[in-house]
């Protein structure tokens, strides 16, 4: 599992073979804003489409930016839940000549890890009965 996340970390900055467009994104925590940096390496009048794919591989959001000069742009995505997302940048009239993608890990926040489940009654019952059982076992050992 650790090896998988190392691959994701190093895949966060990649280059397309023809070098026309690059994207870069860092892993974030749940609830933070994902900033994707888009680098256009040369003057071009094409539009770059930056798409965010969810963990189930469907397009969640898509933003078009102009790449009319060699520049760097930032695209922002918000309200992301924990999971692994794919960010894909495509350039060109038929969106084939320059395409690249990277994966971004959105880690669960500490609050969401420690929060109670949506239906807390079974959770509370299990904890309660476990405590009662432990207390009864301790009383029997004292006698």
Per-residue pLDDT of the chain (143 residues; tens, 9 = 90+): 444 443 444 444 444 444 567 788 888 888 888 888 888 776 555 678 888 898 888 899 888 887 766 577 888 888 888 888 998 888 766 545 567 788 888 888 766 555 555 666 676 778 888 888 888 887 766 55
Examine the domain organization and report whether 99 and 77 are in the same domain.
yes
Q: Percent of the chain beyond pLDDT 70?
A: 62
Residue 143's domain comprises 111-143
Query: SS3 for 21?
Result: strand
Examine the domain organization and report whether 75 and 132 are in the same domain.
no
**Do residues 54 and 106 lie in contact, with contact meaning Cβ atoms separated by under 8 Å?**
no
Examine the domain organization and report whether 79 and 128 are in the same domain.
no
What domain count does the chain have? 2
Examine the domain organization and report whether 130 and 101 are in the same domain.
no
Examine the domain organization and report whether 84 and 119 are in the same domain.
no
Examine the domain organization and report whether 71 and 15 are in the same domain.
yes
Examine the domain organization and report whether 133 and 77 are in the same domain.
no
Which residue blocks in 28-107 are alpha helix, DSSP H? none
CATH number of the domain bearing residue 94? 2.60.40.1930
**Backbone φ, ψ for residue 9 (5° rounding):** -65, -45
**Residues 34-51: tens digit of each pLDDT:** 888 888 776 555 678 888
Q: What is the pTM of this model?
A: 0.57
Examine the domain organization and report whether 48 and 30 are in the same domain.
yes
Examine the domain organization and report whether 136 and 70 are in the same domain.
no
Which residue blocks in the chain are alpha helix, DSSP H? 2-11, 110-114, 120-142
Examine the domain organization and report whether 117 and 99 are in the same domain.
no
Long-range pairs for 29-33 at CB < 8 Å and ≥24 separation?
29/106, 29/107, 29/108, 29/109, 30/80, 30/81, 30/82, 30/106, 30/107, 30/108, 30/109, 30/112, 31/79, 31/80, 31/109, 32/80, 33/76, 33/77, 33/78
Examine the domain organization and report whether 11 and 56 are in the same domain.
yes
Examine the domain organization and report whether 65 and 93 are in the same domain.
yes
**Backbone φ, ψ for residue 123 (5° rounding):** -65, -45
């Amino acid at each position: 599992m650790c090896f998988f996340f190392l691959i994701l970390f190093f895949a966060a900055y990649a280059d397309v073979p023809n070098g026309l467009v690059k994207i870069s994104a860092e892993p974030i925590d749940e609830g933070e804003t994902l900033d994707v940096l888009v680098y256009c390496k040369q003057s071009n009048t094409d539009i770059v489409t930056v798409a965010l794919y969810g963990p189930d591989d469907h397009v969640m959001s898509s933003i078009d930016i102009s790449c009319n000069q060699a520049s760097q742009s930032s695209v922002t995505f918000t309200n992301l839940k924990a999971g692994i997302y794919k960010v894909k940048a495509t350039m060109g009239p038929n969106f084939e000549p320059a395409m690249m993608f990277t994966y971004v890990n959105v880690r669960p926040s500490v609050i969401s890890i420690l929060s109670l489940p949506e239906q807390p009654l079974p959770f509370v019952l299990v904890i309660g009965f476990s405590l009662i059982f432990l207390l009864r076992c301790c009383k029997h050992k004292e006698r």
